[in-house]
Amino acid sequence: MSDEMPHLTIPVGPDDHVQGPADAPVTLVEYGDYECPHCGRAYPVVKAVQKQLGKRLRFVFRNMPLNQIHKHAELAAEAAEAAGAQGKFWEMHDALYEHQTELSQALVLQLAHKLGLDGKRFEDDLSHGRFREHVKRDFSGGVRSGVAGTPTFFIDGERFDDDWSNVETLLAALKR
């Protein structure tokens, strides 16, 4: 049996949502589900780590909606992508996590309005499943990279299986 950690099979590319410079010394990729309570707990940890590392960190978020467990996960992922098409991915990403326990079609539309999105275009994108394939691509890339649950993190392409639930542990791993 190999001791080698699973690796990210799909490199960070132009289809990804990225915060931080492309030439940052370290890249953190998260496969997340907007309805997952563990992802909800990881959200402020990632924010704190981003704040502490600043331009030394590139953060990438990929969709991993666990539809069998979370009935609004797919909707939320597609809503984030639809917001991204209007230049507001990260704003919707944050709003979804900040309202995670209230996820619904009505909430997603309310958030889109609050973010100043073109409501008709946003609703049209959702009703026609315009971003379903993008979400599926993220999901299947996660499966190929050995993601079995959320959140799953990769640091510079290697899966991080240690404790992500506190800032100090994740920060120490990112600085290594």
pLDDT at 5: 67
Mean pLDDT of 101-108: 97
Whether the predicted model's global pTM rises above the 0.85 cut: yes
Q: Label residue 10 left, alpha or beta by phi (over 0 means left) and psi (-120 to 50 means alpha).
A: beta
Of the candidates 32, 12, 31, the residue with the CA atom closest to the CA atom of residue 22: 12
Number of domains in the chain: 1
Work out the pLDDT band at 1, boundaries 50, 70, 90: very low
Q: Label residue 50 left, alpha or beta by phi (over 0 means left) and psi (-120 to 50 means alpha).
A: alpha
Query: Domain for residue 1, yes or no?
Result: no
Residue 41 to residue 43: CA distance in whole angstroms: 6
Q: Are 116 and 125 in contact (CB under 8 A)?
A: no
Query: Domain for residue 131, yes or no?
Result: yes
- Burial class of residue 84 (count of CB atoms within 10 Å of its CB; 0-12, 13-18, 19+): middle
State pLDDT tens for residues 144-168.
Answer: 999 999 999 999 999 999 999 999 9
Query: Domain for residue 8, yes or no?
Result: no
Q: Is the pLDDT of residue 18 over 70?
A: yes
Residue 69 to residue 176: CA distance in whole angstroms: 34
State pLDDT tens for residues 56-72.
Answer: 999 999 999 999 999 99
Task: Find the domain containing 76 and state its range.
Answer: 17-175
Of the candidates 58, 94, 81, the residue with the CA atom closest to the CA atom of residue 139: 81
Q: Are 51 and 14 in contact (CB under 8 A)?
A: no
Written as one letter, the residue type at 28 is: L
Query: Domain for residue 6, yes or no?
Result: no
Query: Domain for residue 85, yes or no?
Result: yes
pLDDT at 2: 46
Q: Is the pLDDT of residue 4 over 70?
A: no
The average confidence (pLDDT) of the chain is 96
What CATH number is attached to the domain comprising 34? Answer: 3.40.30.10
Query: Domain for residue 12, yes or no?
Result: no
State pLDDT tens for residues 114-137.
Answer: 999 999 999 999 999 999 999 999
Q: Is the pLDDT of residue 34 over 80?
A: yes
Q: Are 103 and 40 in contact (CB under 8 A)?
A: no
